[in-house]
Amino acid sequence: MNTKLIAAGAVALAGAAVALYFRHEIKAEKDKKIEEVAKNIEVDIDQETIDKAVEKAVKEATERAVDTAVQKATVQMSREVYSQVKKAVDAEAGSLKDQVKDEIKRKIGSIDISKARKEVIEKAKEQAAEKFDDDLEEVLEKYNRELQNVGAIYSSIAESFKNCTDDIPMTFTIDK
């Protein structure tokens, strides 16, 4: 199967090469005949047609030249503007950096460390007190729940003893 495919490809390739060769030969013969005919024919073109053709060619060439010049000028102007802006920004950036550094130094120098320390300590105390209050409220709620449970347990025990010993008086105390 592969040999048939290769043979078909080779035939197609050979056919294409022959076609290209004949096309080239025909084109060469055609160009040769056109040259011979052009040498033997005298063409009379009036001046007005020549002037219009020249004018059109000059106009098109001028437009192309102007377009090319405008594009080149635009690119050059863009590059120059970019360069000048970059230089100006770089110069200002250095100046601004120095100004910012000086301002930061001035602001840091004006900070009262002891006052800031006191404010931080005061804020920390407030937050610690709030946290402690929250924790105490949770402990109190838990204590009250547990106390209610203990009370319910003692009431249940007392009720059980009361039913068992109707005639015997009993007293419960909790010692520490």
176 or 2, higher pLDDT: 2
The answer to whether residue 48 scores a pLDDT higher than 60 is yes
Q: How far is residue 174's CA from residue 109's CA, in Å, rounded to a whole number?
A: 66
The answer to whether residue 165 scores a pLDDT higher than 60 is no
The structural domains of the chain, with segments of one domain joined by +, span 1-37, 50-111, 113-176
pLDDT > 70 in the chain, percent: 89
The answer to whether residue 142 scores a pLDDT higher than 60 is yes
- Sort 45 into a burial class: Cβ within 10 Å, 0-12 / 13-18 / 19+: exposed
Instruction: Convert the pLDDT of each residue in 106-132 to its tens digit.
Output: 887 777 788 878 888 888 888 888 888
Confidence at residue 23, expressed as pLDDT on a 0 to 100 scale: 84
The answer to whether residue 69 scores a pLDDT higher than 60 is yes
**pLDDT (mean) for 37-59:** 82
Terminal Cα-to-Cα distance of the chain (whole angstroms):
108
Q: How far is residue 121's CA from residue 148's CA, in Å, rounded to a whole number?
A: 40
Is there a contact between 172 and 154 (Cβ–Cβ < 8 Å)? yes
Whole-number average pLDDT of the chain: 80
**pLDDT (mean) for 128-155:** 83
φ, ψ at 73 (rounded to 5°): -65, -40
Confidence at residue 166, expressed as pLDDT on a 0 to 100 scale: 58
Residue 70 tokens, joined: 């405008």
CA atoms within 13 A on the CB side of 146: 6
Confidence at residue 19, expressed as pLDDT on a 0 to 100 scale: 82
Is there a contact between 158 and 172 (Cβ–Cβ < 8 Å)? yes
In 3-state terms, what secondary structure has residue 132? helix
The amino acid present at 3, given as its one-letter code, is T
Selection from 89, 107, 86 nearest residue 97 by Cα: 89
The answer to whether residue 174 scores a pLDDT higher than 70 is no
SS (H, E, C) 65-103: HHHHHHHHHHHHHHHHHHHHHHHHHHHHHHHHHHHHHHH
